[in-house]
Chains A and B, each alone.
Chain A
Amino acid sequence: MDKLLDLWLASGIYNLQGGQLIMLVVGLLLLYLAINKKFEPLLLVPIGFGGILANIPEAGLAFSAVENALHFAEPEIMANLASALGISSTDPHAISEAYHSSNASTHQAVVLAAQDGGYNNGMLYNFYNVAIASGAAPLIIFMGVGAMTDFGPLLANPKTLFLGAAAQFGIFATVLGAVGLTALGVMDFSIQDAAAIGIIGGADGPTAIYVASLLSPHLLGAIAVAAYSYMALVPLIQPPIMRALTTEAERKITMVQLRQVSKIEKILFPVVLLLLVAMLLPDAAPLLGMFCFGNLLRECGVVDRLSDTAQNALINIVTIFLGLSVGSKLSADKFLDLTTLGILVLGIVAFCIGTAMGVLMAKLMNKLEGGNSINPLIGSAGVSAVPMAARVSNKLGLEANPQNFLLMHAMGPNVAGVIGSAVAAGVMIKFVG
């Protein structure tokens, strides 16, 4: 009978907390959206599943050894931890507080004491440390994205870089919005939090995760989920804004075919970009450095095996661990509060402003060039979201004029958006990191 009682006391049903139940449902919802609605399935399947794993009661997959020890609170282990910290109280809350305010060497001692007691870091916690806290996974993904990117359309028409720049306005406007909400007392964001939330407007998953992991790791789960959800929603969010800001005549503008770009230009471009980053903004070097490296692998033509690995096998492996690690940040105590709602709202605002500014910039450029050479629809592709945003531009162009193929023209601003948001990320890290 005692054994039966033990089994019951250790069961998930007995230990399930309300918050965990809600997060399990959120995880299932993400899985549903990914599988049934095809919302960025490559990321939302691992994220949703990771979220479910992180919220399994008693398993502690997303917690460190110390957090797990504190959760079970066995008296002799609590005493060991307290002595490692040099405090007399064996109350888990007191230990937790002392642990978080202790210095590095004491920190280490407490971790060892917890591990002596037989507690270990959860699997997802380890994944998070290796993949995200180290900064490795987003950067390796960025290398893969670089290896998949064709700069041809951008090189054929370098002026489209301005569209990629204009669309980054959404990022900075949202920072201001987050700070404003804090000043009004609605939310409580620091300037670092605000910067990390703004990056959602860059519509670039790896960049958002990288910046969030550096500036405000406690918001990472919500920021990553918001960034990837909105990227999936690009075909729904962008068209109304694009239609509202352009006239029928503007949407009908056909653009002249792009010139042929030579192989040497394609090889030189990543090197030129890297040198410019090195000279002007070393803080963007991790992101753009890996991006340029991946692109050089693709274009140089002598390391096809490496290029193939970077854009297929490696990016897939890393995506699995990145997704599960982001999922580990979906634990109830960190995700279920008003802040997450604020992030979701601010994120979509960032996205809309970015789209609008891109279109307006394209209209301005069109006016300056005589009014009949640049279709403003390609401006919205300046938010990254490669290649979805470019496809949306193409689709709206075809709606206005069935002979109007904007896809290649929109790819220019699209990859410019990737560079733009990486530069914006570098500026954020420089100023508030």
Chain B
Amino acid sequence: MEESLISQGLSLMVFGMGFVFVFLTLLVGVTMLMSKLVVKFEPVAVVPPKKSRRNVAPAVAAKDDELVAVITAAVHKYRS
């Protein structure tokens, strides 16, 4: 009886762990495949960010200049 309980536990461990790995390996494969397909068949989603980037870029640059100026001023004040 006790021997069989241990062997039950062992088989549960081997099969259980094996199954968890097989399942998650398959999930890794399927997920990668899905991501590839999505990236391949989704040219629409790539276009809008390009457009918006063009519009946004000058604003960001301007802000950066302002930021640099502010930081420089702050550093000068701190040093003096």
Contact = CB atoms under 8 A, between A and B. Distances in A.
A179 B24 CA distance: 27
Nearest to A179: B9
B74 interface: no
Interface stretch (A87-95, A219-227, A264-272, A383-391): A264-272
A240 B11 CA distance: 31
Interface string B2-18: 11011011111101110
Contacts of A173: 13
A269 B35 CA distance: 9
Contacts of A168: 17, 20
A272 B13 CA distance: 27
B6 A159 contact: no
A195 B16 CA distance: 11
Given A182-B2, A269-B34, A428-B12, A172 B23 contact: no
B20 A191 contact: no
A405 interface: no
A301 interface: no
B28 to A, nearest CB: 5
A12 interface: no
A73 B49 CA distance: 76
Nearest to B4: A191
B34 A432 contact: no
B31 A423 contact: no
A265 B31 CA distance: 9
Contacts of B10: 176
Contact of A419 (B15, B24, B39, B42): B24
B48 to A, nearest CB: 12
A268 B38 contact: yes
Interface string A392-433: 000000000000000000000000100110011001100110
Contacts of B45: 262-264
B21 to A, nearest CB: 5
A327 interface: no
A335 interface: no
Contacts of A180: 6, 9
Contacts of A182: 2, 5
A280 interface: yes
B8 A276 contact: no
Contacts of B39: 262
B1 to A, nearest CB: 9
Contacts of B17: 168-169, 172
Interface in A226-285: 261-265, 268-269, 272-273, 276, 280-281
Interface residues of A, number: 45
Given A175-B13, A431-B12, A158 B28 contact: yes
A299 B24 CA distance: 22
A413 to B, nearest CB: 11
A158 B32 contact: yes
Q: Which of B13, B26, B39 has the most CB of A within 10 A?
A: B13
B38 A162 contact: no
B23 A276 contact: yes
B2 to A, nearest CB: 5
Tell which of B3, B10, B21, B23 has the most Cβ of chain A within 10 Å. B23
Given A175-B13, A191-B8, A427 B38 contact: no
Which of B13, B16, B42: most chain A Cβ within 10 A?
B16
Contacts of A176: 6, 9-10, 13
B15 to A, nearest CB: 7
B30 interface: yes
Interface string B32-75: 10110011001001000000000000000000000000000000
Interface in A149-206: 154-155, 158-159, 161-162, 164-165, 168-169, 171-173, 175-176, 178-180, 182-183, 190-191, 194-195
A191 B12 contact: yes
Nearest to A156: B35
Nearest to B41: A264
B15 A431 contact: yes
Contact of A280 (B6, B23, B35): B23
17 contacts: A158-B27, A158-B32, A162-B21, A165-B24, A172-B17, A179-B5, A180-B6, A183-B2, A262-B45, A281-B19, A423-B19, A427-B16, A427-B19, A428-B16, A431-B12, A431-B15, A431-B16
Given A175-B9, A183-B5, A432-B8, 16 more contacts: A155-B31, A162-B28, A168-B17, A172-B16, A175-B12, A176-B13, A179-B5, A179-B6, A191-B5, A191-B9, A272-B31, A272-B34, A281-B23, A427-B15, A428-B16, A431-B11
